[in-house]
Amino acid sequence: MFRRQRGKSWRSEVFPTAGLLLLLVLLTSGCTNDEPRRGRVLLVGIDGANFRVIDPLAREGRLPNLQELAREGVHGTVHAHMPLWSPRIWNSIASGKHPKKHGILGFVHDEVLYRSTDRKVHALWNIASDAGLRVGVVNWWNSYPPEKINGVMVSDHVIPGVTSERRLAHGAVAAPEGAPVVYPPDWQDRIMAIAAGGRIPSDTPDPFDPGDSLPAWVKTEPLSRAFRDDGRVVQMALAIDRELHPDLLMVFLPGIDRVSHWLWGNLEPEDLYPPRLRPSADERRAGVRALYDYYAYTDELIGVLLARFGADDLRIVVSDHGFEGGVFFKTLTGQHESEQAAEGIFYASGPSLQPGGEAKRADGPLSVDDVTPTVLAWLGLPIGDDMDGRPLAAQYFGSIRTVPTHDITAIERVLTDDSGAEAEVMERLRGLGYIE
C-alpha cells in the first residue's frame, strides 16, 4: 500500500480515473519550504457538548485536557445546520458537505435506519485511504456496514450488537454469528471482546451508580450504559492506535448527548417544566453534579487519546450542537430543537495553529462543514471544490490545493445485510425520543 510522505502536497487537476489520480499525485507531489510540519491527526467527536457547561468547569480547572488544547491552539464555536439531528451533522463533519449532498437526512427512512450505503459521497476516511494514509475509525454515525479502508473501521453497530446478545435470556434475537461489524475481519474478535466488557481506561466512578439522589424521573440504566460505552469506545481506539499507529484516527463519543437529554433541566428555571419534572433542591444539585461529572469524565477520556499524539500532530475535538431546556419525549428535560442549540464546540491544536487563538474561517465563523476541509488542508491533501466547507484561516496551512471532487473512486463495503443490532439501535433512539 502506498504511503504519503510527510510534507508533500498535491497538484490541483481534474483526474479522469481513480488510478491516474493516485499515480499523478505520487509522481508530481513536491515539497516547499513554507509548508508546516505535519504529523498525524486525531479527530474526536463529542455528541452534544457545549460551552454552557464547559466554561464553568474550565474555570474550576476540571477540564484540563480541553484547557490544554485551548492554550496550545485555537478554540471556539462551530455552527450546525438545521434540523439538529446527529446523523445529518456528523456526516457533514466527516464529508465537508451539506446533508442534501451526502444523503444522510435523519435517523431513519422508510422505517429503517440510515446506513453507510446511503451516504452518496466520500468521507474523510475514504479520501485519506485513497491517498495511501492509514486510517482508524471508531463508532462514527452510520458506519455500518463497515467500509474497506486502509486501516480499521469499527462500525456504530458494534456496541449495540453486544447489548443485543446480552438480552438473549430475555427473548432477544442474536446477531448473526460472525456478522462483519468491523473491518478488516481479523479485528472483529478483538473489538467485540472490548465491547463486551473490556476495561474502561478511567478510574472515575460511574456518576449514576447508585443514582438514588437524582431526580425521580431519571432512568439511570441508560446513563450508566453511556458511561461504559464511551469508555469502551476509547479502549477500542487505543487498541487500534497501539498496533496500527494510523495517520488519521477518528473517534466518536455519544455519551454527553445521551446524559444531557435526561439531566439538562437541572440547569434551567423550574417554571420551564411541569410539576412532575421539577426537581427538589437536592435533586437539582445532584443532577447538575452528575452532568458536570460526566463532562469531566469525557475530558479524561480525551486526555487518554491525546497522550498518544505529539507536538507535530493535529488534534481536534468537535461537537455537533449544544443543548437547550424544554420537555422532550415526556420525561426528557434537554433538547436541541432550535437555533439556540445550534452552536457546538471546536478545539484544534497543532503546528502552525496560533496558541490561544480563536477558531474561525478567514471569511467568518466555523461551520460543521469546515472540519473535513480543515483536516485535508492540514494534511496537504486537496479540498474538493464540491465541498460546502472551507478550512480554518489559510495562514495555518501554507498552500491549499483543490480538486473538482473526491467522489471518483468506488467505496467498497463488507456487507449490506442486517447486522443483528438494528433493533437495539432503534430502541435506543426511541428512548431518547428521536423516533416513535
Confidence of residue 399 (pLDDT cuts 50, 70, 90): confident
pLDDT digits (tens, 9 = 90+) for 221-274: 999 999 999 999 999 999 999 999 999 999 999 999 999 999 999 999 999 999
What DSSP state is assigned to residue 30? B
Mean pLDDT of all residues in 42-48? 98
Residue 57 reports pLDDT greater than 80: yes
C-alpha cell at 81: 445546520
Domain segments of the chain: what residues?
Answer: 42-431
Give me the residues paired with residue 183 across strands.
153
C-alpha cell at 213: 439522589
Residue 322 reports pLDDT greater than 80: yes
More confident residue, 373 or 399: 373
Res 210: pLDDT = 87
d(CA 88, CA 107): 8
Class of domain 42-431: alpha beta
Give me the residues paired with residue 293 across strands.
none
Res 1: pLDDT = 34
Range with the lowest mean pLDDT among 6-20, 248-262, 368-382? 6-20
d(CA 260, CA 328): 12
Amino acid 38 reads R
Mean pLDDT of all residues in 365-384? 95
Torsion of CA 417, 420, 426, 428, to 10 degrees: -140
Q: How far is CA 305 from the centre of its chain?
A: 13
Residue 318 reports pLDDT greater than 90: yes
Say if CB 344 and CB 51 are below 8 A apart.
Answer: no
Res 67: pLDDT = 98
Give me the residues paired with residue 69 across strands.
none
Res 31: pLDDT = 41
pLDDT digits (tens, 9 = 90+) for 129-188: 999 999 999 999 999 999 999 999 999 999 998 865 544 444 444 445 568 999 999 999
d(CA 186, CA 182): 9
In our burial notation (b when 16+ CB lie closer than 10 A, e otherwise), range 249-259 reads: bbbbbbbbbbb
Residue 36 reports pLDDT greater than 60: no
Res 211: pLDDT = 84
Residue 22 reports pLDDT greater than 50: no
Res 106: pLDDT = 96
Say if CB 25 and CB 297 are below 8 A apart.
Answer: no
> What 3-state class would DSSP assign to 107?
coil
Q: Residue 394: how many CB atoms within 10 A of its CB?
A: 13
The DSSP H or E segment spanning 302 is: helix 281-306
Say if CB 236 and CB 191 are below 8 A apart.
Answer: yes
Nearest alpha carbon to residue 381 among 247, 243, 246: 247
Q: How far is CA 298 from the centre of its chain?
A: 13
Mean pLDDT of all residues in 54-63? 98
Res 394: pLDDT = 57
Res 2: pLDDT = 31
Residue 321 reports pLDDT greater than 70: yes
Mean pLDDT of all residues in 316-340? 95
Say if CB 264 and CB 291 are below 8 A apart.
Answer: yes
pLDDT digits (tens, 9 = 90+) for 290-307: 999 999 999 999 999 999
Q: Residue 61: how many CB atoms within 10 A of its CB?
A: 8
Say if CB 95 and CB 123 are below 8 A apart.
Answer: yes
| pTM of the model as a whole | 0.90
Residue 433 reports pLDDT greater than 60: yes
Range with the lowest mean pLDDT among 89-103, 312-326, 421-435? 421-435
Say if CB 160 and CB 418 are below 8 A apart.
Answer: no
